[in-house]
Structure 1
Amino acid sequence: MDFYTVFILCGFSFVAGFVDAIIGGGGLIQTPAILFSLPQYPVPTLIGTTKVPSLSGSLMGAFQYSRRVAVVGRFIGPMMAIAFAASWLGSWTLTRVPNNFMKPLALVILIGVFIYTLTKKDFGQVSHRVVTASQQRTRMWLMGGGIGFYDGFFGPGTGSFLVLGFITLIGFDFLKANAHAKLVNASTNMASALFFFREGRILFTFALPMAVANLSGAFLGARLAILKGNQFIRVFFLVLIAATILRFAWDLIK
C-alpha cells in the first residue's frame, strides 16, 4: 500500500466530509481524487471504495443534525427505504451500463438551480408549509426513488439535490432540509456500499482510513452549519453549485 496516496486521499476525504455536511456535494471532491490517484483500478471499484467514507460522513452528519433539528419521522423512514432500494438498483445498473450521459444532464439542472437560488433571496431561509401531508408523503417518496437511483448510478451532487428537493417541494429551510437530506443520503450510501462489498469492489486499505477522515470532516462541517445558520448555508450552497458547474463544464469541453 502506498501510504503517501492514502494520506492524500484522506486529506481530500476530510474536505469532502466537511463540505458534504454543510450542503452536500462531497463526492465532487472525493470521487475525482480517487479516480486520479488510483487509475490502475476499474471505475466501479473506485466508486465502490468511496461509498464507505461517504457513508461514515453522512451518518455523522445525520447524527449531528438530528440532535438539533426536528425530523418528519412518519415519512422519512419509508423515504429512506425507497432510496436504499433505488440506490442498490442504480449501483447494479452502473456495473452494466455507462453513465457518461449523466454529466451533461446534471450540468443543465445545476445551472438552473444556481440561477434560481441566486435570484430568490429568501430561498431556504425559513420553513413554510406549502403542501398537504399527503402531498408531502408522495413528493418525499418520489424524491427517494429518483435521487436514490441517481446516487447509486452516478452520485456527484446527490446531497445538494436532496437539499434542493426538500426546500422547493416540501418547504423546509436549509437546516431542516440538511437534516433530512443526511438521513436519506446515509441510506443511499449504505445501499451502494453493501452492493459493492457484495461484488468485491471495495479497496478497504483505502476506504477505511478515508472513512475516518470523512467522518471527522463531517463532524466539524455539521457543527459549523448548525452554528452559523441558514444564510451561511445558502452562500455555501451557491459556491458549491458554481464550483460543480465549472467542474462538469470542464470535463465536457476538455
Structure 2
Amino acid sequence: MSDISLTAAVLLCVAAALAGWIDAVVGGGGLLLLPALLIGLPDSSPTYALGTNKAVAVTGTSIAAVTYARKAPLDRRLALRLGGLALLAAAGGALFASAVSKEALQPLIMVVLLGVAGFVVLRPRFGLTPDGTAPRVPSRRRTLGALLLIGVGIGFYDGLIGPGTGTFLVIGLVGLLHMSMLRATATAKIVNVGTNLGALAVFAAHGTVLWQLAPAMAVFNMAGAWTGARMALTRGNTFIRAVLLTVVTALVARLAYDQWLS
C-alpha cells in the first residue's frame, strides 16, 4: 500500500462495505465502488480502478450468491447457464475496456436507466410475485432471449464498464423470465459472479489489479454483501423494489454528473 495513504485506504474499505451491501440487495454496487477507486487512485490509469474493482467485487458477489443459493428459491441450472455465458462475454468486454470511450456510452445508459425507473414506478406489481408460489414458466423463446440479452449482452457490458450490472440483471430476469424480485436477485448474484470472474481474468492477465489494496477492500466488501443478502432474504420483494428504485435514481444522477458537470 505504499502508493496510497492510510486515510484513502480506510475510506476505500468503507466504500467497499457499502458497495457490497448495495450489490447484494439489488446490484449497482459499482456505482459507489468504481468512482471511489477513481478518486482514491488519482495517479493510476482508470484500468487499474476497473481491475481492482473486479477483484473486490467478485468476493462480495460470491458471498451473496452462496447466501441466496442456500435460502432463496432459484433455478440453479438456469443461473449457471447464464453465469457461464456471462463469464465469457465479460472477458470479451474487458478486452475492449481500454479502447472504448465511456463518455460515448453514458447518455445511452442514462436513457435505459430512466426507462427502467419509469417502468418500475408505473408497474407497482412488477417483481412482487409471492415467493412461495410457483413462478410462471417462460417459453423456450423467452429463455433463449434471456440467455442472449442477459448472459451475453449484460455480461459484455460488465466487462466493458460495469456499474449498474446487477440492476440490469434483476430487471432483465424479472421482465423476461417473470421472476419475483427475490428470485431475480438471487439468480443475478450467481450470474454476476461469472461476469466478475471473466473480467477479472483479463485485467489480472494485463497486470491492472492492485493486489496490495484489493484483499483489505475485499474483506469489507464481503461483510457488506453478507449483511445485504440476509436483509433482502428477511424483508423480501417490497424492500428490494424500494432499493432498486433508489439505486437506479442514484445511477442516473451519477452518470449525469459525470457527463455534464465533472
Q: TM-score range by the shorter chain?
A: over 0.9
Structure 1: stretches of 5+ with no match in the other structure = none
Tell me the amino acid that sits aligned with residue 146 of structure 1: G
CA distance in 1, matches of 2:171, 2:55: 24
Residue identity over aligned pairs, in percent, reads: 36
Aligned-pair CA distance for 1:107? 0.2
Aligned-pair CA distance for 1:233? 0.7
Aligned-pair CA distance for 1:57? 0.6
1:124 and 1:167 in contact (8 A); partners too: yes
* Equivalent of 2:41 in 26, 38, 41: 38
Structure-2 residue corresponding to 1:114: 117
Structure 2: stretches of 5+ with no match in the other structure = none
1:75 and 1:140 in contact (8 A); partners too: no
1:76 and 1:140 in contact (8 A); partners too: no
CA distance in 1, matches of 2:237, 2:74: 17
- Asked if 1:226 corresponds to 2:233, the answer is yes
1:66 and 1:179 in contact (8 A); partners too: yes
CA distance in 2, matches of 1:163, 1:148: 13
* Equivalent of 1:48 in 44, 48, 51: 51
Tell me the amino acid that sits aligned with residue 181 of structure 2: F
- Asked if 1:139 corresponds to 2:145, the answer is yes
Aligned-pair CA distance for 1:224? 0.5
- Asked if 1:178 corresponds to 2:181, the answer is no
CA distance in 1, matches of 2:37, 2:238: 32
Aligned-pair CA distance for 1:130? 5.7
Structure-1 residue corresponding to 2:172: 165
- Asked if 1:245 corresponds to 2:252, the answer is yes
Aligned-pair CA distance for 1:39? 1.1
* Equivalent of 2:22 in 19, 42, 45: 19
- Asked if 1:71 corresponds to 2:74, the answer is yes
Secondary structure, counterpart of 2:103 in structure 1: coil
1:14 and 1:214 in contact (8 A); partners too: yes
CA distance in 2, matches of 1:24, 1:244: 11
CA distance in 2, matches of 1:54, 1:176: 21
CA distance in 2, matches of 1:130, 1:77: 18
Equivalenced residues, count: 253
Tell me: CA distance 1:244–1:97, structure 2 relative to 1, closer, same or farther (3 Å). closer
Tell me the amino acid that sits aligned with residue 186 of structure 2: A
Runs of 4+ in 1 over 3 A off after TM superposition: none
Aligned-pair CA distance for 1:153? 0.3
Structure-1 residue corresponding to 2:128: 125
Secondary structure, counterpart of 1:94 in structure 2: coil
* TM-score calculated relative to the size of structure 1: 0.96
CA distance in 1, matches of 2:102, 2:251: 17
Deviations 1:87-126 (A, max 9, x none): 0000001123333212111100000110110111101100
Aligned-pair CA distance for 1:243? 1.2
CA distance in 1, matches of 2:24, 2:138: 27
Structure-2 residue corresponding to 1:215: 222
Tell me the amino acid that sits aligned with residue 148 of structure 1: G
Please give the root-mean-square deviation of Cα atoms over the aligned residues, in Å.
1.2
Structure-1 residue corresponding to 2:206: 199
